[in-house]
Structure 1
Amino acid sequence: MNKIAYSAFIAFLASIGTLVSVQALSSDEADSAGDERDITLDELAEHASAESCWKAIHGGVYDITDYVPDHPTEEEVILEWCGRESSEAWDNKSPGRPHSPAAERQLENYRIGRLVDDQGEPLESADTGELPSEEQDQPMEQEAAAAAPSPAEDQRLHRAMLGQPLDGHYRGVFTDRGEIQVNITFDLRDGHLSDVNFRHLAYRGVDYLTLEEDADLYPVMVQHRRITEWLEGEPLTSIFALYEPERVVDEVDGFSGATLRGAKVISAMRDGLNRGVYSWP
């Protein structure tokens, strides 16, 4: 009889311990959820470097600073989205292909808050408006599949199979010794260039895009701007003329064509082509 009473007593203690543990876990989860704070786009923008990289993805904000060195692609690819609403990049690891469920689970380890507007209202994206819920619930994949052209009609497929660059928006970089020197964007339409712009242009610690007109090296920035103007409307093959940049840009205020470093611009543009279309027209 004593053995039965003792066993019942032990079982009772075990059940009490289980209830306490469950309650503690629930409390921890609640505390963790309560720790999540509201983060505005302005605060997000303050964390746009390798030293502090925050990204907003579908309403959540993530501090991925510690993960940046472990990202499988070049560091500049992920740094490009630091301090920004990055759902577009997350949903298009390659055109039309999002990150995997495993990546989504890993991402949650870095969550620090939710994205809100200046009034504290949640933001799903950087856009000011959201689709009504009934439109969000539509089977978009089926609609896209129905609207897609057949292989016999898809001009993008034909160009790819023939080894021709696809029409679209491209981004590329040239990096030397860990420093991004050239980051350039451009569009291709029927093999011709348009909307050619520098997103970053630097050399030996000098950011040319931020120079004032009275700065000694400002003419170098002007020369590079003239490169983008010269490329507008030109066929893609015209980039190889930049190997002799003095043929493209006249001397500016005593600075010779040698300051143009046209080969770096070519390398950045070819990097963009190698990465593939960044976004479709």
Structure 2
Amino acid sequence: MNINKIAYSAFVAFVASLATLVSIQALSSSDRDAADDDALDSITLDELAEHDGAESCWKAIHGRVYDITDYVPDHPTEEEVILEWCGRESTEGWDNKRPGVPHSARAEAMLEEYLIGRLVDGDGEPLEPEAAARAEEGDEAGDADGEPARLSPAEDERLHRALLGLPLDGRYRGVFSDGGEMQVNVQFDLRDGRLSNISYRHLAYRGEDYRRLDEDDDLYPVWAQHQQLAEALEGQPLTAIFALYEPERLAEDIDGYSGATLRGNKVHSAFRDALNRGVYSWP
């Protein structure tokens, strides 16, 4: 019985000591963070938005900006999962790895290795996550109480299009993956039912990144033809994406070699995925 009491007392003492150490570390970490933030480079939302792909991926989390480009290939999920958060305020995704479950302390320690700056507004003042998210969505305008302005059902064009089953105006991003490998990641704008600003955020097959090919590379014609697909769709109605099933209608110089590699149906699937996901950002 005495041995049990001694063991219990030792356990309580250990837990108390551990709690004290954690509290001290948290306090010192807060002091260090405050001092570190003053010395960090200031980064605006516009600057953050320029780094929105695998070639340069910056994320803002709890007011700090991280360049995780080098980590993207090592992320345990499919690449498209992490790429969706590049170039934007990402606190929501960080705090909800799964609904209500944040990333681990180990992941947080790893994240600090990629710290490059702090997120600020146009006046250089620190920008909190909620304010940053509202600014990205174009919801900065509000009423006298600071609440986002609301349109009536008679005035809200987005509501009208949504209820009629029509795609909303905005920027879209979608992917095509096969066997756990992301092959196509396309971005485009939709306005009044027409396509614009079409670009490939990712285009690869079996580890070959077509966007990084030089003109003298054997597979460069495939990259050129994919660009022709995008150029041919610029300004066209959304329904033109069905022409991707017959890429020879859109791209030139389709021969037996490159034609076997050009898969317009993959690009079409990425477009459809973008529409299924909904608007990525509002104009």
Structure 2 length-normalised TM = 0.66
- Give the match's secondary structure for 1:181: strand
Query: Alignment partner for residue 233 of structure 2, among 231, 234, 249?
Result: 231
Deviates more, 1:147-156 or 1:53-62: 53-62
Does residue 276 of structure 1 match 2:278?
Answer: yes
The aligned counterpart of 2:21 is: 27
1:233 to partner: Cα distance: 0.4
Question: Within 5 A, what are the aligned runs for 1:40-189?
Answer: 56-59=60-63, 68-69=76-77, 75-80=78-83, 86-88=88-90, 90-91=91-92, 106-107=102-103, 109=105, 110-112=107-109, 117=116, 123-124=118-119, 129-130=124-125, 143=143, 145=147, 147-189=149-191
Change in 2 beyond 3 A, CA 1:64/1:270: closer
1:77 to partner: Cα distance: 4.1
Contact 1:246 1:256 in 2 (8 A): no
- Give the match's secondary structure for 2:266: helix
Contact 1:68 1:78 in 2 (8 A): no
- Give the match's secondary structure for 2:195: strand
Deviates more, 1:27-36 or 1:270-279: 27-36
Return the alpha-carbon distance in structure 2 between the equivalents of residues 99 and 132 of structure 1.
17
1:203 to partner: Cα distance: 1.4
1:78 to partner: Cα distance: 2.5
- Give the match's secondary structure for 1:240: helix
Question: Within 5 A, what are the aligned runs for 1:253-268?
Answer: 255-268=257-270
1:262 to partner: Cα distance: 0.4
Query: Alignment partner for residue 252 of structure 2, among 243, 250, 253?
Result: 250
Return the alpha-carbon distance in structure 1 between the equivalents of residues 242 and 123 of structure 2.
42
Change in 2 beyond 3 A, CA 1:55/1:145: closer
Contact 1:57 1:85 in 2 (8 A): no
Contact 2:63 2:127 in 1 (8 A): no
| Alignment-mate amino acid for residue 178 of structure 1 | G
**Percent identity (aligned):** 46
Return the alpha-carbon distance in structure 2 between the equivalents of residues 217 and 265 of structure 1.
17
Change in 2 beyond 3 A, CA 1:142/1:246: closer
- Give the match's secondary structure for 1:225: helix
Q: Deviations over 1:76-124 (max 9, x none)?
A: 4432157x56525x45x7xxxx97799566236442265755xxxx614
Q: Deviations over 1:161-190 (max 9, x none)?
A: 111110011000000111111000001000
| Alignment-mate amino acid for residue 251 of structure 2 | V
1:151 to partner: Cα distance: 1.1
Deviates more, 1:209-218 or 1:141-150: 141-150
Q: Deviations over 1:214-242 (max 9, x none)?
A: 10110110000111111110000000011
| Alignment-mate amino acid for residue 271 of structure 2 | M
The aligned counterpart of 1:45 is: none
Return the alpha-carbon distance in structure 1 between the equivalents of residues 252 and 16 of structure 2.
75
1:259 to partner: Cα distance: 3.0
Structure with larger Rg: 1
Query: Alignment partner for residue 194 of structure 2, among 192, 199, 217?
Result: 192
- Give the match's secondary structure for 1:111: helix
1:251 to partner: Cα distance: 0.5
Query: Can you give the 5+ residue segments of structure 2 that lack an aligned partner in the other structure?
Result: 1-8, 42-52, 132-139
1:29 to partner: Cα distance: 2.6
Query: Can you give the 5+ residue segments of structure 1 that lack an aligned partner in the other structure?
Result: 1-13, 42-47, 70-74
Contact 2:226 2:262 in 1 (8 A): yes
Contact 1:183 1:199 in 2 (8 A): yes
- Give the match's secondary structure for 2:243: helix
